[in-house]
Amino acid sequence: MLRSVILAAARSQKVERLVETAPVSRDVVKRFVAGSGTGEALAATRQLADAGLCITLDNLGEDTLTAEQANATKEAYLELLAALGHAGLTAPKEGGGGVTVATAEVSLKLSALGQAFDEQLAEKNAREICEAAAGLGTTVTLDMEDHTTTDSTLDILSRLRRDHPGTGAVLQAYLRRTEGDCRELATAGSRVRLCKGAYKEPEHVAYQAPLEVDKSYVRCMNILMAGEGYPMLATHDPRLIAIAQDRARWFDRAPDEFEFQMLYGIRPEEQTRLARAGHTLRVYVPYGTEWYGYLMRRLAERPANLAFFGRALISKK
């Protein structure tokens, strides 16, 4: 219920203005977002890399409505990739079970590159970013957004993969279709991020009960771990992490043949613990000024974060 209210607020421009202008928002945002520009993103990446973690960077922004905005997002990614390359953060790591696993890569939302009004433009922009990434030895992962975009995103992914096979997919366990998509994508060299899913989706396309989503996650994980691709298990859920470690033993996957992923600012001690235990742990690092939609999804996932927001508000009064 609370999750639905927050996700509905995520689409309200009135609430957006209110939250964006509240002075307290800055403190809350700092916990989940690495900064507003390339310099701050680079500094956060360096710090995480020095702690033995891998990184995927997201230039915040979604639902772009003009070609100019889409172009500006593309340029921001090109600037970021050049800076990462210059800093020596894009070199592929050892291992990876036959796929490119770089210290730092980028994640992008096709909606930020124009998908909603011109799919070809979004694909062209994404292709340019993939080319720049490949030139520096690193990769791109296409974030997955709400279910109305799933087919379009997977179609664009398959075309990008013809030239850039390392391009990563994201599949959401809450969607009823996802077991089938996992089977399709569990092929040699295929990087697939599995997450629970962060959008408000209708019952006919998505499981609603958390237990049903968790069970679907395990079924999907089994398919990916048994397959020939490179699973990227994106979750903070301790039970799912333990099951993943068990499946890795069962399917005889070495630690460099899959990775865990978590969000910047969420369970940081667990991130370091898993990396020290020999796993590849990649942190999803968002940066930029358009943090509203991202922040609201993080608040919706955990009411305790709402309390954190409330406490910060009170302490400012």
Ligand X SMILES: Cc1cc2nc3c(=O)[nH]c(=O)nc-3n(C[C@H](O)[C@H](O)[C@H](O)COP(=O)(O)OP(=O)(O)OC[C@H]3O[C@@H](n4cnc5c(N)ncnc54)[C@H](O)[C@@H]3O)c2cc1C
Query: Catalytic residues, which ones?
Result: 143, 193
From the list 43-51, 175-183, 222-230, 234-242, the region that binds ligand X by CB under 6 A is 234-242
Minimum CB separation from ligand X for residue 163, in Å?
22
From the list 98-106, 118-126, 219-227, 297-305, the region that binds ligand X by CB under 6 A is 297-305
Residue with Cβ nearer ligand X (125 or 261): 261
Q: Given candidates 261, 274, 279, 296, which one binds ligand X under the rule CB under 6 A?
A: 261
Minimum CB separation from ligand X for residue 88, in Å?
23
Query: HEC profile for 161-202?
Result: HHHCCCCEEEEECCECCHHHHHHHHCCCCCEEEEECCCCCCC
Residues 6+ apart with CB under 8 A from 252: none
Report 133-152 residues binding ligand X (CB under 6 A): 143-144
CA neighbor of 49 nearest in space, from 241, 286, 294, 280: 280
Minimum CB separation from ligand X for residue 64, in Å?
16
Site size for ligand X (CB under 6 A): 23
Instruction: Report which DSSP code applies to 304.
Output: H
Are 127 and 120 in contact by the 8 Å Cβ rule? The answer is no
CA distance 190 to 177: 19
Q: Exposed, middle or buried: residue 63 (CB in 10 Å: 0-12, 13-18, 19+)?
A: middle
Residue with Cβ nearer ligand X (27 or 82): 27
Longest Cα pair distance anywhere in the chain, in angstroms? 56
Q: Is 153 in the site for ligand X (CB under 6 A)?
A: no
Query: What is the x/- site pattern for ligand X, positions 163-202, by CB under 6 A?
Result: -------x-x----------------------xxxxx---
Residue with Cβ nearer ligand X (82 or 266): 266
Query: What is the x/- site pattern for ligand X, positions 42-81, by CB under 6 A?
Result: ----------------------------------------
Residue 71, Cα to own-chain centre: how many angstroms?
Answer: 21
CA neighbor of 77 nearest in space, from 107, 36, 117: 107
Q: Is 284 in the site for ligand X (CB under 6 A)?
A: yes
CA distance 165 to 184: 15
Residues that bind ligand X (CB under 6 A): 143-144, 170, 172, 195-199, 234-237, 261-263, 266-267, 284, 298, 301-302, 305
